[in-house]
Amino acid sequence: MPDEADRFGGLGDALQSGSDEDPSDADASSTETTTASPAVPEAPSESADESEPADTVDAVDDVEEFPEPFGFDETNQQSYYVRDETFDPLAANRSRIRAVASKHGLDEGDLSKRELHDAELSVLQSFEDWDIAVAVEVLERRGVDVDEEAVRAVFDVLR
């Protein structure tokens, strides 16, 4: 039986060995697909006119105007299992966020789920004592009579 701590150990090597590409090429291509920045030549060619056509400059500006705040490679996939009544307000809010974003020039598909999830969790954590409030909520939902100050004392020790 495989080691449960490393269930996927060697999978990346097996996949990579089946590929005809150079591993450094694979890394470069994955980087290219996750970045919003267009390739820019390092030095202008000697025969190039010094002024670029206006439509080329505008296209570059549009691509870089609203870059993603972080790439997929910076994320760690996590699962949340929630009831519909808990999730539905978040889903409705995501629709409103996309509507507001489109008013600011982003296409509806420009906002990724990872970006929305990260923002939702960041907002939660921006509230003072969010962690204590979550602990109290979990315990109260189980019917535990919770002393918030006792929870705070435990959290203070563990921080």
**Read out DSSP for 91-138?**
HHHHHHHHHHHHHTT--GGGS-HHHHHHHHHHHHHHSTTHHHHHHHHH
Write the single-letter amino acid at 30.
S
pLDDT band at 154 (very low <50, low <70, confident <90, very high): very high
Work out the mean pLDDT of the chain and round it to a whole number. 74
Query: What per-residue confidence (pLDDT) applies to 110?
Result: 81
Extract the tokens encoding 52.
Answer: 């670029």
**Is 155 or 78 the better-scoring residue by pLDDT?**
155
CB 159, CB 132: distance < 8 Å: no
